[in-house]
Amino acid sequence: MQADLVEIREKVGGVAELIESQVGAAVHALLEDDRDLANDVVLGDRRVNRKIREIDRLAYAFIVRHAPSAGHLRYVSAVLRLDVALERIGDYASTIGREVVQISAPPPTRVLRDVELISHQARRTLRQALVAFQEADVELANETYGMAGQTDSTLEKMFEELIDVGENREVPLRDAFALLRIMNLLKRVAEQAENVCEQVLFAAAGVTKDPKTFRILFLDERNDRVSQMAEAYAQKAFPESGAYASAGWDPVDALEPGLVEFMDQRGVDMTNKAPTALSPIHEEPRHWHIVVGLHKDARHHIPVLPFRTLFLDWTPAVDAADLTDDATDEQMEEVFKSVKLRVRDLMLTLRGPDAS
């Protein structure tokens, strides 16, 4: 059993080194306008696939031969999942190579600098994840997990650069799309590295990935009624499924007293709540997964919507502008029912029937 484990581990290490080399070579081919190297990367993907199939064969044979349990079974299961991630990364490198061959001329220097930066970030994340797997280093895996987010700002900057060079006709449109695809593939390398980290935690510690917690921002003009309702209800009904906040682009000084009393009667304490001013969401250190607009003008107050943030317009059903200062309890109850229904539907979509 130990000899078989050593063989599997050595082959995993070998294919990991090969894939790291493939990604590095694909990027180098772009930076140096080396078409021959790009072709080598494309052809080399066949070698990667053969090595991964061999690891799969050894892993399944290990299960049949030894009927492993506990740690050994977790490790072999993690290897099989790791192979999926590694094969995808190999495909990304091959696709980058194909795009490099199609690019008609070397891109502008400032674009290449961005490619080099995002490549460095992605490859560093991948390298640390693979080291963590080979050494069963839970601490390194935890440290590495989340590093893919570092590429977000670089991604946005490069996107702006590509728009600029396209508008100035510095590169053909076909080349601009190729560079955009390369950029996103490098981002995916970093995200696959995080999947590798999850397998480290599973193999070494038996820890499975927790259900995702979603960061949700409810947005209207004054942040004194409907957006506060939505935040308070989501926090009460689904505390384990998300992190919630609300804001307004022109917030008032304090909540409407009638709202505090109304929500208190329904078991939601808002005594210590206060309106919050909207800050530029693209500058947040952690991105919002979802921004919910509760006023018809909400989207206009988000000039830059981050790539990984989804904007939902709920105003066809719930519009904060319709709830005036002299609204009756019956009117507020109607709005609150609509808010509850929308929040429930959203959280059940995101987390399924076990949302809590």
Q: Read out DSSP for 24-92?
A: HHHHHHHHTT-HHHHHHHHHHHHHHHHHHHHHHHHHHHHHHHH---HHHHHHHHHHHHHHHHHHHHHHH
The confidence band for 67, taking pLDDT boundaries of 50, 70 and 90, is confident
Q: How far is CA 283 from CA 9, 287, 356, in A?
A: 42, 8, 29
pLDDT of 38 > 70? The answer is yes
239/34 Cα distance (integer angstroms): 53
Average pLDDT over residues 308-337: 83
Give yes or no for residue 210 having a pLDDT over 70: no
**Three-state SS at 293:** strand
This prediction's pTM: 0.74
Report pLDDT for 51: 93
Summarize the confidence of residues 302-319 as an average pLDDT.
86
| The pLDDT value given to residue 26 | 95
- Residues 228, 255 contacting (CB under 8 angstroms): yes
Where is pLDDT greater, at 2 or 151?
A: 2
